[in-house]
Structure formats: C-alpha cells, structure tokens
Amino acid sequence: MLGILVAAGPVSGEDNATILPATPTPEVTILPITPTPEVTILPITPTPEATNLPGIPGSGTSYYDIYTNINGASVFFDAEYKGVTSGGLLTVPVATTGTPYSTVRTEKSGYQPASTSLPPVPGEEQHTSVYLTLNPVQPTTGDIDVTSSPSGANVYVDSVYYGTSPQLCSGLTPGGHTLEVMKAGYDTWKQTVSVVAGQTTHIHASLTASAQYGSLYVSSNPQGANVYLNGKYYGLTPRTIGSLLPYTYTLELTKSGYYDWTKSVRIYANQETTVSKSLEKIAVPTTGTLSLTSNPSYATISVDGVSYGVTDPAYPLIINGIAAGRHTVRAELEGYNDETTSVSVAVGASTPVSFSLTPVTPETDTASVQVASTPSGAQVYIDNLFKGTTPMTVENLAPGEHTLKLTLTGYDDFTTSGTLSPGETASVTIGLTPAPPVEETPAGTIGILGGLCALACLAALSRGKKR
C-alpha cells in the first residue's frame, strides 16, 4: 500500500507543491511463540559386555575340540561346566568376539584331574584342539574281605568293630593288621593279615566250637603230696587244676615216706570235682625222692642211666622211690652240654637237684679279621682280593697265612702278613702314613718307614687275636 503525504496550508503561486512518495509501513506478522522444549536427562545405559553364549546369531562362533584319553570326562572352562567327553572328544562352541576363557579342566572319578591353559580363540567357524591326559588315582589303602563258618561272627580289625561276617573291612593302611573273628559258643579266631594298597585280601575263618571245661580240687593228709594227672605234674596238695576237658583222668599222689596212691577221676563240664585222700605211711621207709629242675627247661633226666622224664618250666620233676644212698643224675638237652652230678638220697626225704646247662660252642673251621684304619675309608685287600673299606670285618677266611693290604689315596700303601687259626677273630688297627711328594722323599727313608710299619702291624695282629 502507498501512502500520500499532503502538506496543508494556503497555496501560493510562488510555492510549488512537492509531492513525496510515502514510505510504506511494513506489515507486521505476528508469529506464534514456540515454547522452549524441556530437557529430560536420561540415565546412560552401559553397553553390555559380550558373553560366551555359543551360537548367538551375529556374534560369530568358534570351537575348541577337547580330547581326553578316557571317555566320560567332565569338561570345565574356567570352572564353567561344558559337558562330558564321548569317544574321547567334546567340542565346545564359544563366541568368537566374546571374553575368552583362560583354562580348561577335565575330571573323572578315579582319575587325577587334568588342566591346561586354553590357546587363543580360533577364527570364526574355526576349530582348535586341546589334549588332556587323566591319570588313574593311585590307591593308598586296601581291604580285607572276611567270611567265616559259621557266618554272623563279629569282625574286629586292630580291635575296631567292623560288623558281622561276611564283612568287607575297607580303608585299611598297607601293612600288617590284627584280625579277630568272634562268635558266642566258639573260640576266638585271630590272625595277622597283610594289607596291600589297592588290593582286597580274602580271609576265611573256620571257627571252632568252644570246649566246656571242668576243674579238679585235690587235697591230702598230710599236705604237700605231689599231684600227677595223666602223668603230668601239677604241684603239691592242696591243688586246684582248672581248664580240664570232660574226660576220665588218672590221678596220682606221691609223698616221700608214704605209699603212692592212684585213682581214676571223672571231670564234668562246668563242675569242680573234689578228691581228698589220707595217705598211708610206710612203717619203715627205705627210699627217698628227687626234685629236679633245669635251666633251660625240658632237659631229659636220668638216674643211674634210667630215664625218668623231662623238666617242666612251671614245676620240678619229682622222682619217687629212689633207694637211699648215692646216685648219678644226668641232664641232657639238645644244643647244650650234658651235665652230670652225684646226689645222696636220704630215706623218707626229698632231695632237690638243679641243673644249669651251658650252650654247646659251635665248631668252626674258618677265621675272621677285624680291620680298622686311621683315617678310615681305606680299601682292604686279603691275598690281593678286594674285600671292602675300613672299618670292616672280613669273615670266612681259611685258617693259615694271609696277606693284608690297605690302600688310600694320599697315603702310603700298607701290607702285612699273619697266620689265622680255626675259629679265630683277629683285630688289626693301622695308622696310615701320608705319602710325601716323591721328589722330596729319599727312597731309603720310605723303605725304612714301610719296614717299621710292617713290624708294628705284625705285633698288633699278634696281640689282637682272639681265640
């Protein structure tokens, strides 16, 4: 739109009216006010780490082929279970771009676990092989498998109860163990059993029915009579004899100055049989008694060449009816020297006799020599044959003359000779002489020293012989 500005006032002839164009007034456009948007601060969600989830589309998959020397081994990646090998192989898929695992471990009952570091993750759809060997666990204990007849017996190992037979006693340390099998009405079965690690020892115990015992009480008037049961001496009256099987026994009582008395006695199970006897005195006794012991026991005793039995460790051997006077008594035991003594027997009296036997010295037809040196460690030669190093004893040498030689680095050799007798043990101690440098030692001096040492050794050998 154009505006015309008009000047108002009188118009004179002299004045020219100038019409100026009017400056247009711009149009004003009213725009709507746009509100400032509010700013909302949202939390930053962290980008999740890649995980080892196999087969995720788009993540890429790689493979570890885990080989084991046995089937059925469990496989773990960083303690995460992955599966069990079949045919000795387990293929484990992993994310190619995920956080890599560091170790693989395999385990199976009865085997030592095996583990190793995993190699780098192979490329996508690629395979990497890992080989692991599991070794069997070495057993540290063994077992005892116990059966018995009859069964149902209590089983103890080293006094520890394990149950009733048949019974497997497991977890036992290698070595000897005391096995006991017990059942009421049967004798205890006991044996030392050797246990081997990783093995089962099979033992069968045949139980014996317990015997029912009885006892015998014997008294006499006067007391002090010798008691014999089936010829075995049990001591003097009054005497109780226990643990006797039910049986008929021959009981004999003897006492110097009294007539011997003999009777059959029946023993009953779980009962005590009592026997009391008044002995008949000999009006005019003509004999006496010998009471014999020996150390060691079980020596055979003879009187005047007649054998009367053997000595017992618990009781003396009683010999009745020995005529009054002097008698020759002899004791004999294998491995011991015989011993003879002369004993005077008095009428109606008991004479004690005791033997102390001496072992027989074994005869030998060889000799030996004990060799020592200063310093020790010298090599020992007998008749030019090497025997060992000092100190030592050379045994089983033939009687006669032998040559002894000692050698030690840094010392002069030493040689001597001597004669050994059968059964002799000689003792020789040699002080070796350090070997001086050859260039500084005159030959004559060495010969003199060697001769002096030989003389000294012969003197020591002679003094040290033991016969």
| 45 is a domain residue | no
Q: Rounded distance, CA 140 to CA 445, Å?
A: 67
pLDDT at 467 over 50: no
Which of 206, 222, 249 delimits the end of a domain? 206
Q: Which pLDDT tens digit goes with each residue over 158-168?
A: 999 999 999 99
| 165 is a domain residue | yes
Tokens for 455, please give them: 């003389």
Co-location of 389 and 459 in the same domain: yes
| 17 is a domain residue | no
Q: Specify the range with the lowest mean pLDDT, choosing from 144-148, 183-187, 290-294, 349-353.
A: 183-187
Residue 342: domain span: 287-356
Q: Rounded distance, CA 224 to CA 221, Å?
A: 8
Instruction: Find the mean pLDDT for residues 329-351.
Output: 93
- Cα dihedral 68, 71, 77, 82 sign: positive
Question: Could you tell me the pTM of the whole model?
Answer: 0.35
Q: Rounded distance, CA 26 to CA 37, Å?
A: 31
| 419 is a domain residue | yes
pLDDT at 314 over 90: no
| 52 is a domain residue | no
Co-location of 310 and 396 in the same domain: no
Query: Of the ranges 3-17, 231-245, 356-370, which is most confident?
Result: 231-245
User: Which domain CATH number covers 292?
Assistant: 2.60.40.10
Q: Rounded distance, CA 273 to CA 269, Å?
A: 10
Co-location of 397 and 445 in the same domain: yes
What does the DSSP 8-state code read for residue 433? P
Co-location of 310 and 344 in the same domain: yes
Average pLDDT, the chain: 84
Number of domains in the chain: 5
Q: How confident is the model at residue 38 (pLDDT cuts 50, 70, 90)?
A: low
pLDDT at 33 over 70: no
Q: Rounded distance, CA 54 to CA 381, Å?
A: 80
Which of 206, 224, 250 delimits the end of a domain? 206
Co-location of 371 and 449 in the same domain: yes
| 68 is a domain residue | yes
Sequence-distant (≥ 6) Cβ neighbours of residue 165 within 8 angstroms:
146, 147, 148, 151, 152, 153, 155, 181, 205
Instruction: Find the mean pLDDT for residues 195-207.
Output: 94
Instruction: Find the mean pLDDT for residues 313-321.
Output: 88
N- to C-terminal Cα separation, the chain: 164
Co-location of 346 and 421 in the same domain: no
User: Which domain CATH number covers 89?
Assistant: 2.60.40
Q: Rounded distance, CA 82 to CA 93, Å?
A: 9
Label residue 462 exposed, middle or buried (CB < 10 Å: 0-12, 13-18, 19+). exposed
Co-location of 255 and 224 in the same domain: yes
Co-location of 397 and 446 in the same domain: yes
Which of 356, 379, 402 delimits the end of a domain? 356
Residue 466 is predicted with a pLDDT of 44
**Structure-model confidence comparison of residues 31 and 50, the more confident one:** 31
Residue 260 is predicted with a pLDDT of 92
Residue 344 is predicted with a pLDDT of 94
Q: 93-127 in b/e burial notation, b at 16+ Cβ within 10 A?
A: bbbbebebbeebbbebeebeebeeebeebbeeeee
Residue 27 is predicted with a pLDDT of 57
Phi, psi of 444 (to 5 degrees): -65, -40
| 324 is a domain residue | yes
Tokens for 87, please give them: 């045919």
Report CA-CA distances (Å) from 366 to 24, 394, 418, 421, 423. Answer: 158, 11, 15, 8, 6
330: left (phi over 0), alpha (psi -120 to 50) or beta: beta
Co-location of 389 and 428 in the same domain: yes
Q: Specify the range with the lowest mean pLDDT, choosing from 52-61, 76-85, 373-382.
A: 52-61
| 312 is a domain residue | yes
Residue 2 is predicted with a pLDDT of 41
Q: Which residue in the block uniquely carries the two structure tokens 């009885």?
A: 214
Q: Rounded distance, CA 372 to CA 1, Å?
A: 148
* Residue 297: HSE in the Cβ half-sphere, 13 Å Cα cutoff: 7
Co-location of 336 and 403 in the same domain: no
Q: Specify the range with the lowest mean pLDDT, choosing from 25-34, 80-89, 189-198, 262-271.
A: 25-34
User: Which domain CATH number covers 381?
Assistant: 2.60.40.1120
Label residue 140 exposed, middle or buried (CB < 10 Å: 0-12, 13-18, 19+). exposed
Q: Secondary structure of the chain: what % helix, strand, coil (to 5)?
A: 5, 50, 45
Co-location of 236 and 273 in the same domain: yes
Co-location of 111 and 146 in the same domain: no
- CB atoms closer than 10 angstroms to residue 288: 24
Q: Which pLDDT tens digit goes with each residue over 285-312?
A: 888 899 999 999 999 999 999 999 999 8
